[in-house]
Structures are given as C-alpha cells and as structure tokens.
Amino acid sequence: MAINLFDLAYNLSPEDYAKIILSSGDYFPGFYRFTTPSRTYEPGQMTVGGLIKLYLNQLSTGLLRSRDEWFKQAITRLNSLDTRLRSRSDYAVYDLLDKEYRNWVTAANEYDIALVEITNKKEFEKDQTYFFMGAMIRFTDTEILLGYDDFRNTAVERIEISFEKAKQIVDKIYPSNFSDLFIPARLIGSIDFDENDDGFLDIRDTYLEYLFTVDPKSVVIASNRTKSQHLSMRWAKDIILTEFN
C-alpha cells in the first residue's frame, strides 16, 4: 500500500490529527517519566502542603529560597542516575548528555509548576485539564487545547474539533481505561529566579484555594519554561522540587 507522506504531513484534517494525538496513550512509554497513577511521591519531593506553606511564608516574610534549595532533591535524583551510568563503556557520551540535562533541570530563569491529581479517577469532561503522555490537554466546545496552560490560559496547539466528536474518538479508543491515562492536572504557578538566583513563587489566589481542597497525595512537578514553553509535551520529564522544612 502506498502512503503519500506529503499529504500525511501537510494535508491532515483536524479530526485525523486529533485521532493521532488521542490514540498515543501507552502504559509503558519508556521515554516518559510517568503517565499513570502509579507515579507516587518521592521522599524529599515538594508536597501540596509544603507548597502552600512555602507560598504563605513568602507572602508574610518576603523570604525567597535559593536555586540550590529549590533543586536539592532534583540534583540528588540526577546524582543517583549518574552513579549507574559510570559503569558503561560509552560513559563519555552520557556525561555530555548529563551536563546538558542538568542545565535544563536546574539552570533556567523561569519554571512552571503543575499539580497532577494521581488519585483522582475523573472521567472525560469538558473544560477539564488532563496530564496525558507528558502534555497538558484540555477539551472545549470547539477545540482540543494541546500544551494547555491554566495559569495563563494559553495553548501550544489548538485542534479544531467539537467536544462531541472528541468524546466519540476517546470513547472508542479508551472504552474502560480513560482515567488511567488522562489524569486531572492543572498548571498552578511559576518560579522566577532573580539576578541573585533567588526564586520568587507566584501562585494566584484562585489556585491557592484549589490547593487547599485537592487531595494532598497529588504530585507537584515543575517544567523548564525558559527552554520548553513552546513544546506541548514539556512535562514528559518532570522536574521535582524540594520540600522545605
């Protein structure tokens, strides 16, 4: 069978494009850090309660945390990976990749923070943001918003397709396991680092109220906004933040 690659790349209908995106759910994708509620809290990782306390403390005292403090736990995770890779014969290649990845994780000027409700088995709903295969995705009356940012109400891509048609596609592909692969999530804030490498945490009041009501077992993750804001799948490799005492 002959396939016209030009048509596939440039003349794909919005509905066919939506089918490709929505059918990419996978329990064992390999590249992605996590996709299903099997992802759990890591010791030392920022918790929902820790994020609330940190923000309220910043409001009351003006105290900003340093970059080293924010990413202490992420660096610990990276160091454990580095130990395993040293035994490889091609370690020099991994060392170069490791340095670039460390910079991506720890050296950006701005990061976004998301909350992934790993215990929330929500079914397919309109105007609900989901974590799906490393991307935030949202369904509206007339569009699928891919790479959606709740905090700024923006999206990397907009696919014109009705909610009813999107629901038909989703129901056909995931008749019984939608909630395993589409996890309720929300981009709730950001961290901006100043010239002294101190990070300012920005969370709007509406999202602070949300943090007080969400399941405390939900996972807090970050993404490098400086480098990756144009990528819809920028949450595929989650960055963990440090829990402060």
Tell me, what's the pLDDT at 89? 62
In a domain, 15, yes or no: no
Tell me, what's the pLDDT at 2? 64
In a domain, 67, yes or no: yes
The answer to pTM > 0.85 is yes
In a domain, 37, yes or no: no
Q: Which residues contact 140 (CB under 8 A, 6 or more apart)?
A: 126, 127, 163
Q: d(Cα 105, Cα 76) in Å, to the nearest integer?
A: 12
The whole domain housing 111 covers 44-228
Express each pLDDT in 190-236 by its tens digit.
999 999 999 999 998 889 999 999 999 999 999 999 999 999 999 98
Q: Give me the number of domains the chain comprises.
A: 1
Cα 145–Cα 39–Cα 133 angle in degrees, nearest 5: 30
Residues linked to residue 154 through DSSP beta bridges, in sequence order? 149
Q: d(Cα 222, Cα 116) in Å, to the nearest integer?
A: 11
Higher pLDDT, 237 or 186: 186
Indicate the SS3 state at residue 198.
strand
Q: d(Cα 36, Cα 181) in Å, to the nearest integer?
A: 6
Structure tokens belonging to residue 140: 């509206």
In a domain, 154, yes or no: yes
Flag whether pLDDT at 39 surpasses 60: yes
| Beta carbons within 10 angstroms of residue 161's beta carbon | 21
